Amino acid sequence: MLVDSEVVLDVTALRAQFPALAQQVRGKPLAYLDNAATTQKPHQVIEAVARYYQRDNANVHRGVHELSQRATRLYDEARATVAEFLGASRPEEIVFLRGCTEAMNLLAHTLGSRLKPGDEIVLSELEHHSNIVPWQMACERTGAVIRVAPIRDDGTLDLDAYRGLLSERTRVVSILHVSNALGTINPVRSIAAAAHEVGALVVVDGAQSAPHLRIDVRELGVDFYAFSGHKVYGPTGIGALYGRYELLEGLPPFQGGGDMIARVSYSGTTYAKPPARFEAGTPNIAGAVGLAEAIRFVREVGLERIRAWEDRLTELAHQALADVPGLTIHGPKPGAKAGVVSFSLRGAHPHDIGTILDMQGVAIRAGHHCAQPLMERLGVPATARASFGMYNTPEEVQSLVRGLAEVRRVLGL
């Protein structure tokens, strides 16, 4: 148990809620340090999804029978839960999608339909590919151009340089809240305020912030905010996009099909109001149910306590890894980032590091983390990345350090 002046988190009891953590891998206790890729799921999320399929499985918004009414009620309640989690003003500001990638594609398609040659979209050097490629595709269609805000050598955004990119040509600023590769926490409120001064809309990729930070979209002053359920201890294949309702109402549909229409005839179609306009076809109902349960679980544990515990683990990792010969940590120091430690080991390819650590039961990520432009900025082809969740322990940090000693032994470093 961690006991600080303001933090009490019983990690032993917490870990018991996650069945996947009890297993051994390669004959060793699992140390799962790949939470930025996806988190493990607690019993109550698994049970909520199973219960839906066992008892309430039906399509939503289309049936008058009891099961359809139950499924519709659960789906609508899940939307309200997500709205409250993000601080939205009403549930209708929440669109259910597969995750952040689909949300960014939706926005690049719909907002992108308004772009003209010479219009500018501002991104940053930190971005995930899912917040780069959709905007590039929009630019190819419209003649708009992308401007890239640089980062400093410590992996933090150069806010002055960002402000210098903004002009009357800026139409969209699309930026992540927390870097998946470095853990950098961007000053979203300041970013949004500067963008709004030039009349630009602000899109935020919150995939890595939702598991770690308290989010209030109205306090942040953003126009759109997306996150993925599987990063926040929920199921895969479900996520949510927040958009200010008056903006959603003015956007065209992303896909056509059932449930997103008001009326269809061969002479023309009228579209439903948001959010239904953006949810064509049968949605991931079970995923929405599981996501709502995951949010309830996270809120029961307490985001402030989770953040404090993960910050403690990040600091411990920085201290311990500093003693590993030839190891370089990339990105900000603890306190300026969420629970991610991205590193290189001189003479070792990250994939070799990940493979040898796996033989020790330690699961990390190795590669470019879907952030190749950032890797180029750092001057490395890839990094190894350990990322923490609410259930990780100081002992697992030590397992990582011992595993790296084995990496050095096997590779003769």
As annotated, the active-site residues are 370
CA-angle at 159, arms to 157 and 162, nearest 5° = 95
Phi/psi region, residue 344 (left: phi>0; alpha: psi -120 to 50; beta: rest), is beta
Q: What is 358-411 written as a DSSP string?
A: HHTTEE-EEE-TT-HHHHHHHT-S-EEEEE--TT--HHHHHHHHHHHHHHHHHH
| Strand intervals (E) in 77-189 | 94-97, 120-124, 145-149, 170-176
Q: What is 174-214 written as a DSSP string?
A: EEESB-TTT-BB--HHHHHHHHHHTT-EEEEE-TTTTTTS-
Q: Which residues contact 299 (CB under 8 A, 6 or more apart)?
A: 85
Q: Which residues contact 266 (CB under 8 A, 6 or more apart)?
A: none
Q: Which residues contact 370 (CB under 8 A, 6 or more apart)?
A: 128, 129, 130, 180
Q: Are strands 383-387 and 239-243 parallel, antiparallel or unpaired?
A: unpaired
Distance separating alpha carbons of residues 305 and 32, to the nearest angstrom:
20
Q: For the chain, how are helix, strand and coil distributed in percent, rounded to 5?
A: 45, 20, 35
